[in-house]
Amino acid sequence: MTRRQRRLTLIGGSLAVLAIAAALVLNALRDSIVFFSTPTMAAEKHVPVGKRFRLGGMVEQGSLVRGDNLAISFKVSDGGATLPVTYKGILPDLFREGQGVVAEGALDAAGVFKADTVLAKHDENYMPKEVADALKKQGRWQEGSGGKPVATQGASNAPASVTQ
Q: Per rule CB under 8 A, is residue 142 in the interface with other proteins?
A: no
* In 61-161, alpha helices (H): 129-137
C-alpha angle 78/100/79, rounded to 5°?
15
Q: Which is nearer to other proteins, 25 or 49 (CB)?
A: 25
55 touches 105 (CB < 8 A): yes
102 touches 56 (CB < 8 A): yes
Give the shortest CB-74-to-other proteins separation in angstroms. 13
Give the shortest CB-132-to-other proteins separation in angstroms. 10
Residue 69: burial class (beta carbons within 10 Å; 0-12, 13-18, 19+): exposed
Q: Which is nearer to other proteins, 50 or 153 (CB)?
A: 153
Pick one of 108, 121, 136, 142: the residue that binds other proteins (CB under 8 A). 121
Q: Per rule CB under 8 A, is residue 20 in the interface with other proteins?
A: yes
Pick one of 50, 89, 108, 116: the residue that binds other proteins (CB under 8 A). 89
Q: Per rule CB under 8 A, is residue 4 in the interface with other proteins?
A: no
Pick one of 80, 82, 84, 91: the residue that binds other proteins (CB under 8 A). 91
Separation of CA 147 from chain center: 19
Contacts of 134 (CB under 8 A, 6+ apart): 36, 38, 41, 56, 57, 78
Q: Per rule CB under 8 A, is residue 33 in the interface with other proteins?
A: yes
Q: Which of 57, 54, 59 is nearest to 36 (CA)?
A: 54
Tell me the C-alpha distance between 33 and 82, whole Å: 24
Q: Per rule CB under 8 A, is residue 116 in the interface with other proteins?
A: no
* Residues contributing to the site for other proteins (CB under 8 A): 1, 3, 6, 9-10, 13-14, 17-18, 20-21, 24-25, 27-29, 31-36, 54, 61-62, 66, 69-70, 88-91, 93-94, 104, 121, 123, 128-130, 133-134, 146, 150, 153-161, 163-164
